[in-house]
Structure formats: C-alpha cells, structure tokens
Structure 1
C-alpha cells in the first residue's frame, strides 16, 4: 500500500525531532506551535503510528520516530545541499558553459569576451570546441553545446536562431616578395597567375570565395589547402602564395612588416560573426549570462 504524505510534514518532523521541541521547531520554520502540533498529529494519523512521546520538557522519539528520523535526516541534508548548489550556480560561483566556435570567430571575437567573462566569474568552467561552421551548427542541433559562435556564410533551420554579433572584412595578403605587387590593383581573374592558399573545400570560407569568384567570372583554383587561418598566415609568411584572411587576424603580421596587403579591384563582401542557439533549449544560469553578455555587446555595437 502506498500513501501520499505531504513532504512539508516530513520537513517539520525533521526539525521537531532535531530540536526535540515543538516551539523551537516552529520558530526555526517561521511558523507557530499550535500549527506545528496539528501537522504532527496529522502525520502520525497518516503513518498510523506514534512518532513522539510528549512531555512538558519537550518531545522524545518513539522507536518508529527514530527509524523515520534516520531516513528523513539524510534526505533533508541532501535537499539542503541541492538548494545550496542551485543558489551557488544562480550566483555564478560555479557551473559550466560549452561553446562550439569556428577558428575565426574565436580569434577575432569570442576570445576577448571569454577573457572578460572568465575574469568576472572565475569559478565557471569553459569548454570550447573548435568546429567548422556546419559542424558547430550541428552541435547546437544535437544539444552537444549550449550555443555556437560561427562565421557567415551560415545556414540554420527554423528551430535555431542566428544573431549577427560583429561584421568583419577580409583582405588579400602575400609575403614580402609581393611588396612590389602591393602598389598595384589586381583583379580576381589576374590572381590565377599567382599561387593561392585556401582553407579546405568543406569550409564555409571556401564556399564564400567560390561564389565571389563566380560572380566576377573568375575561376578559383587554390594551389595549397590549409586546415586553419593560422596555417594560411604561416604559409603566406613563408612565401608560398597569396591568401584571403580576416583583417583582424592579419593585423599583427602586417604591422610587423612580415606580410603585405594586396589591393583588389573587386570588393570582397563583408562577413559576420554570429551567435547560433536553440531557442527551445533551456540554458543553465552561467550559459544564459554569457549569452546575454554577447547579445548586449552586439546591440551596443549596432548603436555606435
């Protein structure tokens, strides 16, 4: 036979048994003694046994009362721990966020925001996975990550939301041997005369440039494929060819004179860093806080 007893009664029982006193238990619970007595009588009725031996000095537990107390005490401690844990994660003293990011998004946007967030909430663990844009979007879809920060072009279906966070431009760069060429303006069709370094064919970057070249009746035939933008920059510095890279990632090398920027006749369309998340997936407090930080900084960016 199963019975339904209000958990509140067990909680009151725990305090009465702990303090062996109705009045004291009432005070701790912010209740009054007649109420507490009434509820304990009801609990005894429901359990069909006597739990307390009442005396003018207070109460002592019957053997049945002792048995119940042993069980209830451990449950009560578990519940208090859980409440503390939840309020700690609500105050962001610990917790975890998992984010999928493309290399470019991490480099030119996310790293800076992670640094600020980590300085403010050092107890939050961060798990960052490095994906291509399609992989990152898939990870959000599968519920493997809280959200993704990717670079356009990107396609998401209806259940996911995509919000632009920051626009960026790409530039054409070459090694120092291209210094003389840097004073001229090249067209896309003239690029075929030079070795071109690109990311792999499955990357969104490659899709982006394939379309860009097609629009201007030029053919994109990369001579060298690299896995990451960092690798492309290393290859450019080693005089292996020209590459299109996000301007913020080329800045340091340009400033130190390790590479040169080449001028293109055609305008390279601007790209964006975007946030992708599942609007139906509830986020933990930490992930929600970080997501809000990214969205509000994007809105400030729009306002400027």
Structure 2
C-alpha cells in the first residue's frame, strides 16, 4: 500500500450545459504506483483529458468534480482547499500539456517560466533556480541550455518546446507526472525521442506517471498498466501485456483491430473499423455506453453492466464474461 501514489475511486465530472449536465467522467477508478506508467487510452472525447484536469484541480468553472475517494500520497485531495492544492500542483504533482506552444507563455523567456515554480515552492535563490533549470534542460537533451534560458517559446522548434515542458514539470521533482498526449503535435522521429526520454526519466527518478494518448503503438512501448476509456468511463483495465494479448471488452478489441500488425496484416489489406459515433452524455445515462456500436449488444446492455475480474487484476465492464473476438 505504501507505494501507491495516487488512488482514484468513483471519480465523476459533470459539466453544466443549457440542455442539462454533461457527464464527462463517470465513476472512474484506478491506482498509480511509484515507478509505474498508467496509460489512459481512448478516442477523442472519451474523458481522458477531463480526468487529468480533475486530478490537477484545473477543471473549468462550469465543471463539478465528485469522488468516493481521491488521495495523493495518502492525502485526501477532495477535501484539500485551494491553498493546499496550489502547494501540491507544480511541486509534488506536475503536468505536461498537449500543445507546448499554447501552454508556454509567449511573453516570458524560457528561463522565467522554468524557474517560476522552483522559486515559488522551494523558496530558493534565483541562482539556485537557474542552475536547476540549466541542469534539467541538459537532462532532457537540450544543448547550450544556459543560452536557451534567455530565448522565447517562438524561437524554439516544436520538439524543443516539448522538452522544455518536460523540464518544467520536473523542476520540483514531482511524485506524480501527468502527460496529456505529449507527442501528438510532433513528427514521428521527435515523438519517439520524447517517449524514450519520458521512459528514461521515469526509470531514473522513480516517478508515478499517467500518460494520456489515443495511440496504442505508444501504449505498447511505454505502459505498465492500461485503462481503456469510452464515453467517460473505464471499460477495461489491466497490465499492458494482458490487455494486448487478451482484450476482453468489445471496444478494446475494436481499437486493436484498427492497428496494422507486421507479419499479419496484408499489404493493402483492410483494417478494422468501429461503426457509429460516441453517444451523447447529456442528461440521464444508464447501461453500456458502447452498446449502439457493439456487435455483441443485447437488450440487457441498457441496464447496469457488471464488472468482471481475471488474474493479474485484469478488469472489464461488459455483460459477457470474456467477450468473443
């Protein structure tokens, strides 16, 4: 129990809309341990980013968060006031945002933005903060790091800006790092470098990491555990190896069928598809969110869906105890 960094049980996020509440995150539960990478996977709009914002207390004003249990290093985040959250965020909990050009402030130098959280949380001198920034820029692979501190975000390439974001998140040696699709806006070569960098840094520093992505190729390379989200809820969770080798939920199976497999997918062959669209989550919602797109749907999918568990804590939410392929 001591190595559990983040424990999330029954997390819900509702957003007020003119047509009623939108249930963006529905009864989400997971744990992240020290040195472990949990990947949140799913198509756009499934609630991955909203979950991360809820953990960081960065939700928009129209959003309401609730949870049965939400603890970080044994501390109840749901009961923490704004002052306490500000003391944790950027210090013990850090986040790498999806698009560094919008996350970095164009009016301030890289040095100003790197040093800000260190000065705030560590009460250090400017010289100590600058030395820490230079050290981390070098650690994330940026050359001439001392000179980079005086540059502005627009003077750096997309790959360098993303590395700056990683260095910024690591300034105060956080226990938990949330990376929201950190390589989406980058080309394939730089993407691979960023993912390798994150994996190396996590192994070196023993950080608990949540990686949010829709790319199952990324998941296969970096994840210890995987939580597949659909329509605001986790429909399957387990060790990465188990989930790829034996996917139980029809949605997970559909996602994996969309990926070409070397040696098995014929050149020019057709990949799998998932017909239909994600359902509206506004107003009352019951049963399986995937039922309108599922080839195995039955009438009982419209009511409460059971959660099954197999060995290695592999869990899935479906009426079928091991959905057929």
TM-score (norm 1): 0.23
Flag the structure with larger Rg.
1
TM-score (norm 2): 0.22
Give the structure with the higher percent helix.
1
